[in-house]
Amino acid sequence: MALAVQALSGSSLCGCLRDGFSIKLWQVDEERIRQDRMVNFTLAREMLTKCESIPMEKTLIVLLIEDSASYAALVKQWLSMRTEIATSLIWAQTLQMGLRRLQQGGIDVILLDLGLPDSKGPETLTRTKVEAFGVPVILMSADSSDEFAVHMVKEGAEDYIVKGTCDGDVLAKAIRYAMARNSGRRQNGDIISFIGAKGGVGATTVALNVAAILAGNGKTILVEMGPGFGTLTPYFRPDRQSHNTSHLLRADAAEFDAAEVGAGLWDCKSVPGLSILFGPQLTSECGEPTPERVKKLLKLLVRVADHVVLDLPASLSEANRAAVQASGRVVMVLELDPVCVQSARMMVQAIKTWEDAPGTIESVVVNRASVSCPMSLSDLETQLGYPLLGVVPPGADACLAAQTSRTPLIAFQPDGVLADSMNTVAERCVSSVRLPVMA
């Protein structure tokens, strides 16, 4: 079938090929991926077999973001020779050109090179996914590392092809498979908010570890949403941090776009699939986020992540209100003492008066010390008027050791009662989660 080509660079595609130029499809280590809980390969093969047997009548608009004219010509040649798939190829030589074209809409699938003149490495995928809004992204890279390929698939790539020895069969199959997988997928990720009944109850610890667990099943972004100093930066001590929430959410901050959001995301090395947007670190950065900017940020984040976890301060601010209204699930974190329980009850009563607030707010009890309390868990649920997701047992030494290693507790000590309690909370957090309200 015919294939049309449009070059965004302003120059025509050349047909020259390098001597010995070949492309090799990355061979997936199925057992490794299966252990990582990424893909059900039996279902994947069934889907692929089914979609190969059904011709695609629609002409697919393929956006190729690639700086090499010779490689773009090769992609054109491969796709033009296919009879089972009709494509119209749009070529962009830089990420900026590609994102500008993507914003115009109408793109069915993206072929993305990670080594572009204006963007290199994983950040290229993050920035593209924010703008892609559900469009599948197939990576085409010279990096043949299995570990890197697995990491990029966890970060949201639909497929990963190494520039080694490819042909039209490989590329067409990747496109058809990506379209088949993407057709029934929910386009937006879910938002889960954790809010402390009062300061210092462990809401950040619970949010961090739940986010780390959810990252095993899909791209997850953890956001520190408070107006004051964030605690995750001193916890992880990242080597690179160019932006934080203050650069995006304060009223006096410059307008931000997908590129600014992507620049602020820090990938957690100990937990593949988890990215963190840190809170303020300087006095000049502290300040209450504006609700309009909170809504804008969340709209961008749910486009790129399967799960967005918010660490909210113990506050009834308008920024918290905007975050709660956008959340599919709201979890109150509290300690089992009368003062904290009373604070949690009053906060929930206030939140329920907000328009578009979730109908159900749940709770997690954090026992930071082994203390006796006359209140049973059933009495707690009766007093609060909403269900209990789980109880986190005392574990100060384990938490401190995990912090010293710059690793979430669940990754530092994956076995034991602490890990079991966090896993229980995470599992219940994603069960029947309400879709985000993105008005």
pLDDT tens readout for residues 235-268: 999 987 668 999 899 888 888 887 788 888 898 9
Q: pLDDT tens-digit profile of 40-74?
A: 334 444 444 444 444 456 789 999 999 999 999 99
Mean pLDDT of 181-205: 83
- Do the domains 190-429 and 3-183 match in fold? yes
**pLDDT cut 70: percent of the chain above it:** 82
Given a cut of 90, whether residue 208 has pLDDT beyond it is yes
Residue 432, pLDDT score: 57
Instruction: With cut-offs at 50, 70 and 90, classify the pLDDT of residue 2.
Output: very low
Given a cut of 90, whether residue 8 has pLDDT beyond it is no
Q: pLDDT tens-digit profile of 142-155?
A: 888 888 888 888 88
- The residues spanned by each domain of the chain are 3-183, 190-429
Average pLDDT, the chain: 81
Q: Please tell us whether the domain made up of 190-429 is placed in CATH 3.40.50.300.
A: yes
Q: pLDDT tens-digit profile of 365-419?
A: 888 665 556 677 778 888 888 788 889 998 889 999 999 999 999 999 999 899 9
With helix as H, strand as E and coil as C, how does the chain read? Answer: CCEEEEECCCCCCCCCCCCCCCCECCCCCHHHHHHCCCCCHHHHHHHHHHHHHCCCCCEEEEEEECCCHHHHHHHHHHHHCCCCCEEEEEEECCHHHHHHHHHCCCCCEEEEECEECCEECHHHHHHHHHHHCCCCEEEEECCCCHHHHHHHHHCCCCEEEECCECCHHHHHHHHHHHHHHHHCCCCCCEEEEEEECCCCCCHHHHHHHHHHHHHHHCCEEEEECCCCCCCHHHHHCCCCCCCCCHHHHECCCCCCCHHHHHHHCEECCCCCCEEEECCCCCHHHCCCECHHHHHHHHHHHHHHCCEEEEEECCCCCHHHHHHHHHCCEEEEEECCCHHHHHHHHHHHHHHCCCCCCCCCEEEEEECCCCCCCCCCHHHHHHHHCCCEEEEECCCHHHHHHHHHCCCCHHHHCCCCHHHHHHHHHHHHHCCCCCCCCCC
3-183 folds as: Rossmann fold (3.40.50)
Q: pLDDT tens-digit profile of 118-172?
A: 998 888 998 888 778 778 999 998 888 888 888 888 888 889 998 887 788 889 9
